[in-house]
Amino acid sequence: MHTSTISNQTDRTGTLARYNGAGPDEYLSDSSSCTDNRSDLGSDNYSDYESNYESDNEEAPCASTSTIKTPLVQPLNVKERKINVAYTLRQEKFNDNFSSKDLLNTIREIFLSPPRDMSDEKGSLEYLPIYSFLFPNEKGSSLYNAYDRDEVEDKLVIKIDQDGDHTPKFSVADDISEVYGLPGIHECINGQKSLRAVIDIDASQEDMETTGVKAQEVFIRICLSFIRALYRILDCSWKSILNGLVIATSSDSSKCSYHVLYAPALLIDHHELKAFLELVYSLTGEKFGKFIDRKLPGHNFNLRLIRSAKKGR
């Protein structure tokens, strides 16, 4: 299995796992960094998760929908105006073929699946043009001084972290393979275009200890809320959602770090992505929701590429 490059629409960060309905050994990733976070799983039967889930999901079995309106800011020419965008939220339904316990067990399998590398290839910056700034800037050369926006429409625009206090550099590549495996590489994402639903989970070991939670709890609860949010706004089954998940991790003994992305569907822009994140946060609750980066989406934002370690690490 391989992943394709989808410019400005997908997360290519850290290490990658993809759920496609296969067994645990078929999840894809590029490190074994999860092992440090799994030692305390023991014989956890997830009764706490299940009771918590059921208390959050006490809904009638009949089919119905509810609507919430989320105030968003949408661009209108140069100025901006506030509008209301309504999500029609359907109720969560399970049956004998797929229960809430099946959903929790699947998420647990994803967490426990040993990650492995996506590719043995490694890219190079040797032949890529490097610019000091992404946008036009009087202090130095800019990528968007050298290229028109339409010229990089289907290309990968990247931010390159520098050592020490040096400012990042920018470049444009035709394909992720050109920079695959290099440290300090982020994709520059145009938030004003259609985006895939993605969340960034970031919890340091210190913060988790202060809160009294474990890494597997953080991942499972937030991933569960992510899937529930997708189910509520999309007209597809639980299994279809699970089949479309792409999960990237750079977790180790010092942190729980994941990007969770749903590949098949696109949100309108960063405003709708923001509204989706708030839905995931509300389903998760403050205790675990605080580990979701709610500031992620914007007009322009960055996500670390697959297999790109932090500079100097």
pLDDT tens for residues 150-202? 888 888 999 998 776 678 899 999 988 888 888 888 888 888 888 899 999 99
Q: In sequence order, what E strands does the chain have? A: 15-18, 65-76, 79-90, 156-160, 169-173, 185-190, 195-204, 245-249, 255-267, 300-304
**Better-predicted residue by pLDDT, 260 or 42:** 260
Residue 104 lies in a domain: no
pLDDT at 47: 52
Residue 156 lies in a domain: no
Residue 182 lies in a domain: no
Instruction: Give the orientation angle of helix 47-56 with respect to helix 100-112, to 10 degrees.
Output: 130
Residue 170 lies in a domain: no
Q: How many Å from the N-terminal Cα to the C-terminal Cα in the chain?
A: 28
Residue 140 lies in a domain: no
Q: Percent of the chain scored above 70 by pLDDT?
A: 68
Residue 175 lies in a domain: no
**Cα dihedral 178/182/184/189 (nearest 10):** 30
| Phi, psi of 70, rounded to the nearest 5 degrees | -110, 120
Local confidence band at 297 (pLDDT 50, 70, 90 cut-offs)? confident
Local confidence band at 64 (pLDDT 50, 70, 90 cut-offs)? very low
- 95 pLDDT more than 80: yes
**Better-predicted residue by pLDDT, 261 or 298:** 261
Q: What is the mean pLDDT of residues 256-282?
A: 92
Lowest-confidence pick of 220-229, 231-240, 255-264, 293-302 = 293-302
**Number of domains, the chain:** 1
Residue 282 lies in a domain: yes
pLDDT at 210: 96
pLDDT at 304: 75
Residue 180 lies in a domain: no
The closest of 280, 261, 293 to 18, measured between CA atoms, is: 261
Q: What is the mean pLDDT of residues 32-48?
A: 39
Q: Quote the domain boundaries for residue 287.
A: 15-57+64-93+193-297
Q: Which two tokens stand for residue 20?
A: 């496609």
- 22 pLDDT more than 70: no
Instruction: Give the orientation angle of helix 215-233 with respect to helix 47-56, to 10 degrees.
Output: 30
**Better-predicted residue by pLDDT, 296 or 110:** 110
